[in-house]
Amino acid sequence: MILLPCLIPLLPLAAFAVNLFFGKRLRARAAWVSVATSSISCLIAFYCIATVVRTGTMKAQWVWIMLENTPLRFGYLIDPLACVLLFVVTVVGTLIQVYSAGYMHDDPRFTRFFAYVSLFMSAMLTLVIASNYVLFFMAWEVMGLCSYFLIGFWFEKPSAADAGRKAFLVTRVGDVGFLAGLMTLFAVTRNLDFESLGASAQAGGPLLAVAALLIFCGTIGKSAQFPLHVWLPDAMEGPTPVSALIHAATMVAAGVYLVARSFPLFEIFPDVLTVVAITGTLTAFMAAFIALTATDIKKVLAYSTISQLGFMVAALGLKGYGAGTFHLMTHAFFKALLFLGAGSVIHGTGTQDLREMGGLFGKMRHTALTFLAGSLAIAGVPPLSGFWSKDEILAAAYQSGHGIIYYVLLLTAFMTAFYMFRLVFMAFFGKPRSPGIHAHESPAVMTVPLWILAAGAVLIGLPGSPLMGNWLGRFLAGPHTHGEHALNLVVMFSSILAGLGGILLAWLFYVRAPQLPGIVARRASLLYRMSLNKLWFDEIYHVLIVRPFCFLADLLYGFDQKAIDGIVNETGLATVRTSRLKAWIDTYLVDGTVNLVGALVQLSSALVRRIQTGFVQHYLLMILAGILVLIFLEFRP
Amino acid sequence: MIIPLEHLLVFGAFLFAAGIYGALTRRNILGILLSIELILNAVNVNLVAFSRSTSLSPETGQIFALFVMALAAAAAVVGLAIVLALFRIRKTVWTDEINLLKW
């Protein structure tokens, strides 16, 4: 029974092994191996969640390594926070895998896709239930690897291969910080377990603040926060279900989960929390600003993801522990839904460019309706899920006393509603813009997960809403009692106003008066170009980091080629030369001596064997001669 | 009349030399065998001669000579058997044509 939660990550791992080794024989059945294991994990996770709700945290630990009397353990810890993530990851993950079976149907590397996805599920679930930082970090890195594999899944396209590499390298920057943070933490407290983190961190000095900041670097990388957000939009080169699973719902949320897990540590240092809050707010605003002008349907959603992750991070930075986690959960549902809807649109139309779409509502009714539900949820229209979670974050910001953060987040919420409905109106309403596109609805294997996720996007906010008495908040709060927020009507009304205002403005711009966007773009030309060029982040990084590194690499390559290889080659040539000399000595001097001895023996024996005539009488004569000699010697005078 | 010892010894020496000469020069194996018999008989002559003139019991030398004869007969049997066997496979009795032992 104690080992039951271990099965949650182990089952997808088994599916990974099966798909990896028997994929060729399984073919289309590979999808069902992954889906089946994931579903069973989901059921076990539900059982564990029920147990936690009834009886409290489940945990077990085993000693792994002894480091000078300090044990390094591994094990699982399923507390309310882990429960939320377990629920999200298993449910959303399973649905997305069902959807992938339809979406990836014609791909030649179908089985490999499901092997990777299963490996990812295994790593993500390990991360969720990990009881300490070491196991957490290992799972974190495996996820990064899977992310790299899946972004570059269509590696024949150079852009996909580049995007995979970019994602891997950029997140690595954050991971180095994370690892350094773990080392600092361990050096100070001698403890990496989550459960006793708060107690052991109490005694720490300023070095722990450094550790907290370094750990936050991991979040910046993985959750695509400013300034390491540049990899996530490019990650959209991967298959759309991957974008939904890894780059929207689960993996990028792991960074937020990391901060939530380390919350007892962050809590001690208000300054660090301020850094977290500012980073989150800045990211949320910046990404929403860029999303305003993006024309690729997946890029809009990618920037939206960055923005929403910024919301979560900001919430955690404002001590809204429950609010951030709540938003993580609702976001996973509606963003997975939006990505899968976008995938369905791409599947049906064959294009990702919003400017070529239009009027899809009539042709793709299931996709359009579910997409609309997701958009309403993210825009924050009550009583859909996004409203409740975003409202809690805004309330946390309002109460924190950081007025600027509150207003920036409110503005971001307004922009979120605007860009989402810009997307909806451009894609699904109006007239078809491109005559070459003949849209068709996707098969049931893709639309059924959409409907289930849509139901989730609509309803999943209720457990955390005042309608159910903030049940989720109280469930999560446990030791963190400040997760409680009274119903704040000012915040609620301004939030509703921001959401509806954004939708209305989008309707005005893209349905009512389609000439308006052009006019605005001309009037605010600088702002427009800033948004369109993504604030030139890629270009700045290219000049500041990529170019010097390439130059350095070229330099080192030259050095390697000339100096190191030169020395090695000279050594080799010298060896060849000396061995030639040795070969000559061996052939002529050593072999000569040996052959000379042999020749001498042959020569002397050629002389001696003349005596052996073969005539018996000759031998007899010699005997006689010998006897005569003996006699002569005997009778010598 | 008593033949003096010297005469007998000269006779034996002559027989011995003739035997040695025959054994060394004959090409025919049978000739060599005969020559060997001559050598043995030269020895017999010496034995008998010395036994008659110098020994206290003359019978000793005579009996010894009889033994030598018996041995010579046995040796001749073995030798002839070898010669016969050799003749069967080589079809020759000339020693210079029997050179299997040559290098």
* Full DSSP string of B35-95: HHHHHHHHHHHHHHHHHHHT-SSTHHHHHHHHHHHHHHHHHHHHHHHHHHHHHHHH---BG
Residues of A in contact with B23 (CB under 8 A): 617, 620
Q: Express each pLDDT in A193-221 by its tens digit.
A: 888 888 888 877 788 888 999 999 999 99
Q: What is the pLDDT of residue A479?
A: 52
Q: What is the pLDDT of residue A486?
A: 58
- For A36, A245, A356, A362, A365, the CA distances from A439, given in Å and listed in that order, are 32, 25, 11, 10, 11
Instruction: Give yes or no for residue A38 having a pLDDT over 50.
Output: yes
B102 is a domain residue: no
B101 is a domain residue: no
Taking the C-alpha atoms of residue A122 and residue A414, their distance in angstroms, rounded to an integer, is 37
Instruction: Give yes or no for residue A314 having a pLDDT over 70.
Output: yes
Q: Express each pLDDT in A231-274 by its tens digit.
A: 998 888 888 888 888 888 888 889 999 999 998 888 888 888 99
Considering only alpha carbons, which residue of chain A is nearest residue B98? A615
CA A256 and chain centroid, separation: 13
Domain count, chain B: 1
Record: contact A617-B101, CB cut-off 8 A: no
In terms of Cα–Cα distance, which of A279, A131, A272 is closest to A191? A131
Record: contact B95-A615, CB cut-off 8 A: yes
CA of A617 vs chain B CAs: smallest distance (Å): 5
Instruction: Give yes or no for residue A559 having a pLDDT over 60.
Output: yes
B103 is a domain residue: no
B72 is a domain residue: yes
CA of B18 vs chain A CAs: smallest distance (Å): 14
Give the nearest partner residue to A615 out of B20, B23, B96, using CB atoms: B96
Q: Is residue A301 within 8 Å of A343, Cβ to Cβ?
A: no
Q: What is the pLDDT of residue A531?
A: 82
Q: What is the pLDDT of residue A483?
A: 44
Which structure tokens are listed for A371? 């997409």
Rg (CA), chain A: 37
Record: contact B95-A624, CB cut-off 8 A: no
B63 is a domain residue: yes
CA A520 and chain centroid, separation: 38
CA of A632 vs chain B CAs: smallest distance (Å): 17
Q: List the beta strands (DSSP E) in A216-313.
A: none
| Chain B interface disruption, residue of A607, A609, A610, A616, most B CBs within 10 A | A616
Residues of B in contact with A612 (CB under 8 A): 101-103
CA of A620 vs chain B CAs: smallest distance (Å): 7
Q: Is residue A221 within 8 Å of A90, Cβ to Cβ?
A: no
CA of B42 vs chain A CAs: smallest distance (Å): 16
CATH number of the domain encompassing residue B50: 1.10.287.3510
Residues of A in contact with B95 (CB under 8 A): 615-617
Record: contact A616-B95, CB cut-off 8 A: yes
Q: Would you say the ipTM is above 0.85?
A: no
Instruction: Give yes or no for residue B54 having a pLDDT over 60.
Output: yes
Tell me which residues of chain A have a C-beta less than 8 Å from any C-beta of chain B: 609, 612-617, 620-621, 624
Tell me which residues of chain B have a C-beta less than 8 Å from any C-beta of chain A: 20, 23-26, 32, 95-96, 98-103
B85 is a domain residue: yes
B40 is a domain residue: yes
| Chain A interface disruption, residue of B16, B21, B24, most A CBs within 10 A | B24
B100 is a domain residue: no
Domain span holding position B62? 5-95
